[in-house]
A and B are shown apart, each in its own frame.
Chain A
Amino acid sequence: MAETWMIATIWLGLALVATLLSIWFGIATALSEIVVGTVAQLLIGALIGGAVLGADVSWIKFLSGAGAIILTFLAGAELDPDVFKEKWKEAAAIGLAGFFAPFLGCAAVAFYILHWTPQASWLAGVALSTTSVAVVYAVMLEFGLNVTKYGKTILAACFINDLGTVLALGLIFAPFTIKTGTFVGTSVIVFALLPFITPRFFKRYGGRPSELEAKYLLLCLFGMGFLASWADSEAVLPAYLIGMVLAGTVGKDHMLIRRLRTLTFGLLTPFYFIRAGSFVSVAALIAAPVVFLILLAAKMATKFVAVYPVTRLFKREGKEGMYTTLLMSTGLTFGSISALFGLSHGIISTSQYSYLIATVVGSAVVPTLIANAFYLPRHLLEEPKEEAQESGAMSVKEAKLSSLNGKIEPASQ
């Protein structure tokens, strides 16, 4: 047991260091944890031995997997069902373009230029097809576009894009046996029933210190995660979909979401992101940095080709459309989940995993840096009066933090 506590101490120590770095540098905790995981593995591996970190110990794997599942559930629960219902047709066009172009383009680049195996190439396509809803949402808030039709459509499109990524990850590599059929059939029934059963169950038994709600949700997530893994699919697929179908009910229970976040950020996701970082081979990245650059260029170019014309169709001004496009190039959570799935299922090698993680991190950071350098702050100053009134930079005073779901909504919407 002493060894378990020692490993736990090391991991929580690394998590604390990563959190401090994220505070000092103003960067995302996930990004910081991936980098800390990579550096820690490098240093500990060189000084003491790679096994000390224990990234493949079963309980670390469990905490890491649980982190990915609950994080994905919470990401799905952030969906605004009303916006989605209102704008799903336009959102589907942009979201599917934003998914298929990088998915097919990056897979083609990996296969024809980098000469990866077909399976590894598909995985590269999946990992690089993601879009960060959070980055786009942050920019929408900054521009005040989250209350406009354009902003709502783009946000809904990001969910469609990520849904495409999760579905591709969960189904492309599945063997399509009777197990797959059982998983898909059960999923359809569970996803249809949960929105009806859950709120009634919570109303009858919830609101007690025994945290029945958290236990119920974890039961659903772990149960469906087990079914997915049993069918050789990916556990985050049902988690994301459960989050989406419960977004209108559980997603609006602000206090419950907060408690789940505490559990997730405080204990689980550090294990997930540090573990994801610990498998990165710095030696492989140094040996062939061109591979990383090719994948990064492929990801950004394919997103650009797919999304920029669509933003122009919505008659957005050039810079704004470009800015949105750059930000649609970004993805961190689902990118790393896809890459880790590939590594743990033997679809990609450690080197290929390292290139994909580096590309995912690069694609999260580079577009933001470019956008900050070239497209701010003039876009705010040059905005025409009418446009400014339509979009109106999001003010939290003008808006209300909904006491039910914690989502920022305009008071006059």
Chain B
Amino acid sequence: MNKLLVAYDGSKQSEKAFRQALELASKFSAKLVALSVVRPPEPAVAVELEAVLESATEHYQGLFKCLKELAESRGVDVRFEVRVGHPADQIVHMANEEKVDAIVMGHRGESFIQRWLLGSVAKRVLSYAHCTVVVVR
């Protein structure tokens, strides 16, 4: 196992997933890529979209500082990225692009409406990913 992708959205579940990914990366001496996805509101509306993107990007960049310290303490090489779009699509797309060996992600309980509008993120990643997917509960 050379490279891992961990999906991080700032939730407690994704923090657990990040810690799990660190453990795996440390064990296999693998590189780690942490991905956060900014999801535009449905439908995106003028002015609000730009505000949401900026605010979310700043939010994640703040959180990445803590994660980076954690990774450094474990001696794991980690790279952080923020992308825009549907979380499941971007996770799968980046996993393909980076040719990672496994995706590590948390499982969040989305509301009925969110599942209806977007589908379960974990389920979609499991359906479309071309590599091993670890869902941390």
Contacts and interface: CB of A to CB of B under 8 A. Distances in A.
Interface of A: 22, 24-31, 71, 74-75, 78, 132-135, 137-138, 141-142, 258, 261, 264-265, 330, 332-333, 364-365, 368-369, 372, 376-378, 380-381, 388, 393-397, 401, 406-408
Nearest to B47: A74
Contact of A135 (B44, B80, B94, B124): B44
Given A31-B43, A368-B42, A408-B53, A393 B83 contact: yes
Interface stretch (B12-20, B22-30, B66-74, B109-117): B109-117
Contacts of B49: 134, 137-138
B34 to A, nearest CB: 11
Counting chain B residues whose Cβ lies within 8 A of the other chain, the interface size class is 35 or more
10 contacts: A24-B113, A26-B42, A26-B118, A27-B42, A134-B40, A134-B47, A364-B43, A368-B43, A393-B85, A396-B82
A380 B93 contact: yes
A407 B48 CA distance: 13
A262 to B, nearest CB: 9
Interface in B37-64: 38-51, 53-54, 57
B90 to A, nearest CB: 7
Contacts of A31: 43, 45
Given A31-B45, A135-B43, A397-B81, A381 B96 contact: yes
A388 B93 CA distance: 10
Given A31-B43, A132-B43, A394 B114 contact: no
Contacts of B39: 26
A217 to B, nearest CB: 14
B63 to A, nearest CB: 14
A397 B82 contact: yes
Which of B44, B54, B114 has the most chain A CB atoms closer than 10 A to its own CB?
A: B44
Given A372-B118, A376-B89, A397 B46 contact: no
B47 A138 contact: no
Given A393-B90, A396-B57, A369 B117 contact: yes
Nearest to A394: B84
B99 interface: no
Which of A31, A71, A141, A377 has the most chain B CB atoms closer than 10 A to its own CB?
A: A377
Contacts of B81: 395-397
Which of B38, B42, B92 has the most chain A CB atoms closer than 10 A to its own CB?
A: B42
Contact of B86 (A333, A376, A401, A408): A376
A295 to B, nearest CB: 18
B88 A26 contact: no
Contact of A133 (B46, B88, B94, B96): B46
Contacts of B50: 78, 134, 406-407
B48 A377 contact: no
A408 B58 CA distance: 13
A324 B100 CA distance: 30
A364 B85 CA distance: 17
A113 B122 CA distance: 47
Nearest to A71: B47
B84 A138 contact: yes
B85 A28 contact: no
A265 B40 CA distance: 16
B82 A372 contact: no
Nearest to A74: B47
Given A133-B46, A377-B128, A396-B83, A22 B41 contact: yes
Nearest to A383: B93
